[in-house]
Amino acid sequence: MAKKRPQTKAGRPQLTDGEIPVVGAREPCPCGSGRRYKACHGRAAAHAVTELVQRPFEGLPGECDWVALRELVPAATVELTLKDGLPEGVPSVTLATVLPMAWPALRRDDGSVLLGLQNDTPSGDISRDLADTLQRALEAQPGTPVQARRAPADGPRMQDLLDAEGVFEPVVHDGFEFWVPDPENASPDVSASLERANAAAIPTVKLTGVDSAYWCETPDKNHLRWVMPHPEERLLDALARLHAAGRSSLGEGTRLVGSFRAHGLTVPVWDLPSGVSADDVEKPAAEFAERLAAALASEAPLTPEERRARGGLTNRQVTLS
């Protein structure tokens, strides 16, 4: 005989859709229906994911760096400037790539707020999810993390909360010690999370001479990953012109190997020899930026060689989001 589905208790408090937290697909739905999450409120969450905002950070100061911190940089922070100023009792709001225990946000004991960027988001609009998390963090009790939930469909986006004239200046860190003011007195769970995160972090440096370019070190070779704001088709044409002319490298032993597509922007990637440091690539990157500007300005049709170069670059493009 088939098992009866457990009935919802009559006295159970009813949650609105916005209050129902995101849980594992096979876990019981927090609404109390007795069904698994994926068969209940998870359906709406899955549908929302398909409604993807292609450029969630468009219009924010430093859009290219938002993309880099979301997809490429292990450990970094940025001080955020709110449009309406900081609420009473909140000394600062800081965007962080990752937070301990993968928390979406944390209200520290001193009232300051850390907002995590590299979290799974329940809707297709990262900006709206972040704004909802930030608003809840500003109102949370000091010393508490903020849990994930599905943001209201009519809620604000980060573009509504942040000062459009504010400066967005990422600070890249060697590790995640910025999580806690006193790592030696952190809880065992946070200490274990900190140790795991530090062990997995790839050494990364933000270049100073050009915008939104990040050098990183891996065991076999180093890389430069450069988030660019230009329209994708025009940028690929320009890169193809330079590649066909033998002018797309950043010096001896370096090679433009392709690009990522992330959150509506294109991220060219260069392989660098292991001995090439971030300082070594500063001048070549600045010189490349000048060559790229000239190539972007060209209106001439692509030559056969340039079309072949473009096809090669397109075939090596990977979509991250």
Give the C-alpha distances (Å, rounded to integers) separating 216 from 72, 107, 198, 276. Answer: 9, 31, 15, 10
pTM score of the predicted model = 0.83
Neighbour order of strands in the sheet with 317-319: 204-206, 213-217, 222-226, 265-272, 255-262, 317-319
Give me the tens of pLDDT residue by residue for the chain, a chain 321 residues long: 444 444 444 444 455 555 677 666 667 888 888 888 767 877 655 554 447 899 999 999 999 999 999 999 999 999 999 999 999 999 999 999 999 888 999 999 999 999 999 998 888 999 999 999 999 999 999 999 999 998 998 999 999 999 999 999 999 999 999 988 776 777 888 888 888 889 989 999 999 999 999 999 998 899 999 999 999 999 999 999 999 999 999 999 999 999 999 999 999 999 999 999 999 999 999 999 999 999 999 999 999 999 999 999 999 888 876
Task: Count the alpha carbons within 13 Å of 229 in the hemisphere toward its beta carbon.
Answer: 14
pLDDT of residue 5: 43
| Tokens representing residue 291 in the block | 């060559």
- Residue 249, classified by CB atoms within 10 Å of its CB into exposed (0-12), middle (13-18) or buried (19+), is middle
Helix-helix angle 232-244:304-315, to 10 degrees? 120
The percent of the chain in helix, strand and coil, each rounded to the nearest 5, is: 35, 20, 45
Pairing mode of beta strands 171-172, 144-146: unpaired
DSSP state of 161: H
pLDDT of residue 27: 76
DSSP per-residue letters across 170-237? -EE-SSSGGG-S-GGGS-HHHHHHHHHHHHHPPPEEE-SSSTTEEEEE-SS-EEEEE-B-S-HHHHHH
What is the number of residues in the chain?
Answer: 321
Give the C-alpha distances (Å, rounded to integers) separating 5 from 14, 25, 38. Answer: 19, 18, 16
Q: What's the CA gap between 235 and 266, in Å, rounded?
A: 8
* Nearest Cα residue to 207 out of 273, 282, 298, 287: 282
| Tokens representing residue 64 in the block | 């290219």
